[in-house]
Amino acid sequence: MKRILLALLLAATPALAFPDRPVALIIPFAAGGPTDVLGRTLAEAMSRGLGVAVTAENVTGAGGTIGGARVANARPDGHTLLLGNIGVATVTAQFRNPPYDPLVAFAPIGLISPVPMVVIGRTSLPVRDFPGLIAWLRETGLGVNLAHAGVGSASHLCMTLLRSLIHTEMTAIAFRGTAPVMTEIMAGRVDISCDQTTSAMPFVTDGRVRAFAVTSPARLPQIPEVPTAGQAGLPGLEVSIWHGLYAPRGTPDAITQRLAQALRVALAEPRVVARLADLATTPEPPERVTPEALRAHLADEVARWTPVLRAAGEFAD
């Protein structure tokens, strides 16, 4: 009789049974990039808190929207999650036919960490500082090969801002993430990009790519010699890449709250805090690692970037 009652109780309240199998954490960009680096750190830590395996799975393409659509269409049972960056908020403004409305398609779980960006270039460029780079970009124009991780990605957002701020059209080349972008910059096959410090930092500090400016309000202690874009003459180029964890729309609140709690515990682990510090970022404070905080921040960011990006133009179909 007890077993029947327990089965009925579990069937009636899925949250009590959650999680009952491994959780897939969809990373919508290529392995080795900033989202992947953050995602694998989180997956390992959340496995400990949830008591089941949290497996990072790269589902790439279309500026992160292939992976986003995978989660948007998944069963809302908490076992398929999306690690999204600011691109979740910019997709509406950058696609003529957005694959989903991020304000409707997801059940937010919590904010994760803000990550600054760094404008980078191949070391063989004929300029060594940001003002010189801007002058070279303006005179080279479409001869500049700028690389990004697809329309809708953070690097594309940063390059769109740069392009509109210096009123210069350049040749844009899309990749499945900024990991392959970094390879192309080191090989000298593309000229510039903008990447999150989460993965760019090692390439900058050992001189494999050149850092020209950071897009944060202040210099980064890890690379104090690199000025902010504002200090180097382009104050409009300020963008912080934030990350959020999402489940599909319709996921029961009890499950999203359970996941938010596991995320808060993971972000408080000393080894996670130390790993994020190596990547020039820090965890969001606990009061922002909640469904309510992510929902509000996502709405604010959609409202902020939609007019900016629509004015800058360049849509993906």
Contacting residues toward ligand ASP, per CB under 6 A? 29-30, 33-36, 85, 87, 149, 153-155, 177-179
- Of residues 181 and 260, the one with the C-beta less far from ligand ASP: 181
State the minimum distance, in angstroms, from the CB of residue 279 to ligand ASP: 12
- Of residues 85 and 92, the one with the C-beta less far from ligand ASP: 85
Amino acid at 107: A
- Of residues 50 and 159, the one with the C-beta less far from ligand ASP: 159
State the minimum distance, in angstroms, from the CB of residue 179 to ligand ASP: 6
State the minimum distance, in angstroms, from the CB of residue 153 to ligand ASP: 3
- Of residues 88 and 133, the one with the C-beta less far from ligand ASP: 88
By the 8 A CB rule, do 157 and 86 touch? yes
By the 8 A CB rule, do 240 and 216 touch? yes
In our burial notation (b when 16+ CB lie closer than 10 A, e otherwise), range 269-283 reads: beebeebbeebbbeb
Contact partners, residue 7, CB within 8 Å, separation at least 6: none
Contact partners, residue 242, CB within 8 Å, separation at least 6: 85, 86, 111, 112, 113, 114, 115, 297, 301
- Of residues 19 and 177, the one with the C-beta less far from ligand ASP: 177
Three-state secondary structure call for residue 192: strand
- Of residues 33 and 76, the one with the C-beta less far from ligand ASP: 33
- Of residues 24 and 56, the one with the C-beta less far from ligand ASP: 56
For strand 23-27 and strand 54-58, is the pairing parallel, antiparallel, or unpaired?
A: parallel
Amino acid at 20: D
State the minimum distance, in angstroms, from the CB of residue 253 to ligand ASP: 29
State the minimum distance, in angstroms, from the CB of residue 48 to ligand ASP: 24
In our burial notation (b when 16+ CB lie closer than 10 A, e otherwise), range 45-67 reads: bbbebbeeebebebbbbbbbbbb
State the minimum distance, in angstroms, from the CB of residue 75 to ligand ASP: 25
d(CA 152, CA 61): 10
State the minimum distance, in angstroms, from the CB of residue 36 to ligand ASP: 6
State the minimum distance, in angstroms, from the CB of residue 17 to ligand ASP: 33
What are the CA-CA distances from residue 25 to residues 43, 75, 79, 186 (Å)?
7, 14, 8, 30
- Of residues 153 and 216, the one with the C-beta less far from ligand ASP: 153
By the 8 A CB rule, do 131 and 232 touch? yes
- Among 245, 295, 4, CA closest to 112: 245
CB atoms within 10 A of CB 95: 18
As a whole number of Å, the CA-based R_g of the chain is 20
